[in-house]
């Protein structure tokens, strides 16, 4: 998950790697990390976003693409949901 944030089949793919059913993997993941795999991925993507922003080398559209969002709009929504403001990307 951390090495391929663009992966689309997160839970199913990780369950397969672990040799578990999807539901057993999801339950175990949640009990160990305290959140579901999709939420963990969203949080990890925001960590990567923060790193990209601190480096100052990328624009939001590029960051969104790099971390697996299908559009800048979807990225913006996820970013705002976690307390960020897209305006400061653009100097607003």
Would you give the distance in Å from CA 11 to the centre of its chain?
13
- pTM beyond 0.85: the answer is no
Q: Give the pLDDT confidence score for residue 26 in this predicted structure.
A: 93
pLDDT score, position 85: 54
pLDDT digits over 48-85, tens only?
887 887 887 677 778 888 888 888 888 888 877 776 65
Residue 25 in any domain: the answer is yes
Q: Is 84 inside any structural domain?
A: yes
Residue 39 has a pLDDT of 84
Q: Please report whether residue 30 resides in a domain.
A: yes
Q: Is the pLDDT of residue 86 over 80?
A: no
The residue segments making up the domain with residue 79 are 10-89
| Distance separating alpha carbons of residues 23 and 83, to the nearest angstrom | 30
pLDDT averaged over the chain? 79
């Amino acid at each position: 998950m951390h090495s391929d944030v663009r992966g689309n089949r997160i839970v199913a793919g990780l369950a397969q790697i672990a040799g578990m059913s999807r539901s057993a993997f999801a339950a175990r993941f949640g009990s160990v990390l305290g959140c579901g795999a999709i939420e963990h991925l969203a949080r990890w993507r925001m960590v990567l976003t923060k790193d990209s922003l601190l480096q100052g080398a990328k624009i939001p559209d590029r960051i969104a693409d790099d971390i697996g969002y299908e559009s800048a709009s979807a990225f913006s929504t996820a970013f705002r949901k976690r307390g960020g403001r897209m305006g400061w990307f653009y100097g607003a």
